Amino acid sequence: MSSFDLKEFLAGYLLEVDEHLRSAGRNLLDVERLSAAHQSTSRPVRELFRSMHTIKGLSAMIGIEPVVELAHAMEAALRVADRGHLRLDPEAIDLLVRGVRTIQARVAALAAGAEVPPAPRSMVDALVALAVARTAAPAARVAVDLRSDLSQKVSSAEAQELGAAAAAGRRAVRIDFVPSPARSEAGLNITSVRERLAKLGDLVKVVPLPVARSPEAPGGIVFALLLVTGADDEALAVAAGVDPSAVLALSSAPVAEPVLLDDDGDDATSSDDDGLLGDGGGVVRVPVARLDDALERLSALVVTRFRLVRAAAALASSGVDVRELNHIVQESGQRLRDLRGAIMRARMISVAELLERVPLVVRGLSRTTGKEVRLEIDAHRAELDKAVGERLFPAVLHLIRNAVDHAIEPPAERERLGKPREGLIRVECHERANNQLELVVSDDGRGIDRARVAERAGRAVPATAEELLALIVAPGLTTRDQVTTTSGRGLGMDIVKRITVEQLRGDLALATEPGRGTHFTLRVPLTITIIDAFSFSCAGQSFVVPVSMVDEILEVDRDRVRRPPSSADRAGPPIGLLDRRGETVPICDLDACLELGHAPVAASKAILVRRNGRPFAFAVDRMLGQHEVVVRPVDDPLVRVAGVTGSTDLGDGRPILVIDLLALSARMASPDGVSA
């Protein structure tokens, strides 16, 4: 295939393979969980097979032979396990997990434009040996009688799952649930019944069937729920809110040959699933570069609108009637905001999708460290910009690695402390009203030893959580005496800070308690390209600050600002104290912070921000307005200044600096007036 063809299909290939690799990770974890519970693994094994088969076909289309070889070897092992209804042991699952990671590494190399390494021969040989070993003792196959009303509505794969359960000595049952107003009032509907029955077994399928309307079936529908379970009829009837007579055991009988897969390993009833050419089900896949291009063009329109506003103001000042023009300007502003919202929604990804790879990472860390770890993820329905998510994910991974390696105690130690052998790591996130995402990574481990951190840093023992955080994010700091595969290099927390605070202009907070655990809270903007911002004047210059960063705008009477005696001995700009509704707020002149050399006016405005929940105010000359602005990063290290995160254009062609007041507040709050 020519290089032109490769470029044409590469974006679609990478997207499709990434989805199947994430699916493979989820299904491997399901196989491990179900195997440990001695339950049927037919469904996740089959889904794993499908993912590997599709990855093999897609990779063959564009000639990525190392991935083809790996996916084919994994596919062969999974085909044998599926056909023989064989349970994958922990060693086999470990091998398959390593296979998925090896494919991921080669796909990443392809995406980066690097040479794709060959498939490791030892891994391919091990997978081939696994496939051969699994052919030794195939299990008997069993078919279940689905009756005529269900036989055409249940796929061969689902029928085989029911048969596999019967072959393993578990019960396959059918429960008919008829919805009615009376049952709905009692809290019984198909959703609640599904949830209840899922706790008693594996819910294979729910099939809606039409029936004649009657007092017993006023809606003219009945739901047949197919379940593999070890529970008795009475428990199932109670969960479904039906009479025990509605619970029907499905009869079974042995069959001679499997019919699930054809000679090429495909489901004989399935259609072609080489997804590059398949039906997207109403979804259009668009490369991120195209969305970036649309956002760039929108950014140009935003700047053009600023120019239009300025031109209208100039005409008005010269006596021209611009009422109709102002109406058009306002309407165009609303249309631009709507367009911005539409483009940003197209760029948004769910946080749950972003965190899909975390469980497999935790599994690997747990095995490497010998610790037992349970992971809980509660992403709710939070979404964020894909660009923000791609930057944020490495920070989350570093926090989770630290939690497993440093925080969670070994099982024996946890038992001595009266804790469960299994440590808990929880990831929870929410969208906040100020266009921010709050993500919390917590654990129930040993907590952070302040004295040990201070000893390794050569500093005094920190008295507050903020001081402790400033120590642990210092570059090169580690409490490990030896470097391991997961930690010990002193890079993790420094990376977390740089991503969260410096790159994403967010906030990082820490709470820890000895013996009880640690919470890291990351607050980042949902998007960082086009933002709502306040513009203000300081020392005769204009600046902007993101609205999401501002807690309140205050009117300041400088005669009411107190100067504490200790401020005279402190390096850096003087800091005063302001009483605000019973709360003492440190306040500093922003022109002094930025060394603009401007004499303060008698009265001014102040912008209040909160860092780790603590207030800090910056006095400015006056507020100019609120705008939708395009932020351009300041990448040149020669012009990079602490507290300046980018630049924008308000329509007059002059660059306006975007100020990071949170970073400045951290700098002002440190004892020596410099950032920790």
pLDDT at residue 253 in the model: 55
What pLDDT, in 10s, does the model give residues 501-540? 878 878 888 999 999 999 999 988 887 677 788 999 888 8
Angle (CA) 583-589-591 rounded to 5° is: 155
Tell whether the model's pLDDT for residue 136 goes beyond 70: no
Place of tokens 């729910």: 206
Query: Domain ranges in the chain?
Result: 3-133, 141-255, 350-525, 530-669
**HSE-up of 643 (CA within 13 Å, CB side)?**
17
137, burial (CB in 10 Å: exposed 0-12, middle 13-18, buried 19+): exposed
pLDDT category, 262, cuts 50, 70, 90?
A: very low
What pLDDT, in 10s, does the model give residues 179-190? 888 888 888 888
CB atoms within 10 A of CB 634: 16
pLDDT at residue 490 in the model: 45
93-100 mean pLDDT: 91
Select the highest-mean-pLDDT range: 257-271, 487-501, 570-584.
570-584
pLDDT at residue 277 in the model: 39
pLDDT at residue 415 in the model: 93
Decide which of 147 and 183 is more confident: 183
Q: Which helix (H) or strand (E) element contains residue 363?
A: helix 358-369
Decide which of 6 and 381 is more confident: 381
pLDDT at residue 640 in the model: 62
Q: Which helix (H) or strand (E) element contains residue 229?
A: strand 221-229
22-29 mean pLDDT: 89
Tell whether the model's pLDDT for residue 248 goes beyond 50: yes
* Distance set, CA 544 to CA 359, 593, 605, 648, 656 (Å): 40, 15, 14, 8, 7
Longest CA span, the chain:
94
Tell whether the model's pLDDT for residue 644 goes beyond 60: yes
Between CA 301 and CA 299 the distance in angstroms is 5
Between CA 597 and CA 310 the distance in angstroms is 29
Nearest one of 224, 226, 209, 223 to 173, comparing CA atoms: 226
pLDDT at residue 391 in the model: 87
With contact defined as beta carbons under 8 Å apart, do 163 and 219 qualify?
no
606-623 mean pLDDT: 87
Tell whether the model's pLDDT for residue 488 goes beyond 70: no
With contact defined as beta carbons under 8 Å apart, do 61 and 9 qualify?
yes
pLDDT at residue 259 in the model: 37
pLDDT at residue 220 in the model: 82
424-448 mean pLDDT: 87
pLDDT at residue 675 in the model: 39
Pick the CATH number of 530-669 from 3.20.20.70, 2.60.410.10, 2.40.50.180, 3.40.50.720: 2.40.50.180
Task: Determine if residue 413 is left, alpha or beta; phi over 0 gives left, psi from -120 to 50 gives alpha, anything else beta.
Answer: alpha
The dotted CATH code for 3-133 is 1.20.120.160
Q: What is the mean pLDDT of the chain?
A: 79
Select the highest-mean-pLDDT range: 189-193, 357-361, 513-517.
513-517
Sign of CA dihedral 626, 627, 633, 636: negative
Between CA 467 and CA 138 the distance in angstroms is 62
Nearest one of 490, 469, 492 to 481, comparing CA atoms: 490
pLDDT at residue 425 in the model: 95
What pLDDT, in 10s, does the model give residues 298-321? 877 877 887 888 888 889 888 888
Select the highest-mean-pLDDT range: 234-238, 341-345, 422-426, 468-472.
422-426
Q: Give the type of residue at 669.
A: A
Q: Which helix (H) or strand (E) element contains residue 647?
A: strand 644-649
Burial letters 437-473, b for 16+ CB under 10 A, else e: bbbbbbbbbbbbebeebbebbeeeebeebbbbbbbbb
Please give the backbone phi and psi of residue 475, each rounded to the nearest 5 degrees, phi first: -60, 135
CB proximity list for 119: less than 8 A, separation 6 or greater: 65, 66, 67, 69, 70, 102, 106
- At 2, list the tokens: 């020519």
Angle (CA) 493-495-500 rounded to 5° is: 95
661-669 mean pLDDT: 77
Between CA 660 and CA 643 the distance in angstroms is 5
Domain 350-525 in CATH 1.10.3720.10? The answer is no
232-244 mean pLDDT: 88
pLDDT at residue 96 in the model: 92
pLDDT at residue 263 in the model: 36
Select the highest-mean-pLDDT range: 13-22, 244-253, 511-520.
511-520
Tell whether the model's pLDDT for residue 148 goes beyond 60: no
Tell whether the model's pLDDT for residue 466 goes beyond 50: yes
Between CA 77 and CA 96 the distance in angstroms is 9
Q: Which of 3-7, 123-127, 163-167, 447-451 has the lowest mean pLDDT?
A: 3-7
The dotted CATH code for 141-255 is 3.30.70
Place of tokens 């400045």: 664
3 state SS of 66: helix
- At 238, list the tokens: 């109670």
Q: Which of 273-287, 427-441, 447-461, 548-562 has the lowest mean pLDDT?
A: 273-287
pLDDT at residue 470 in the model: 85
Select the highest-mean-pLDDT range: 2-6, 143-147, 504-508.
504-508
333-352 mean pLDDT: 82
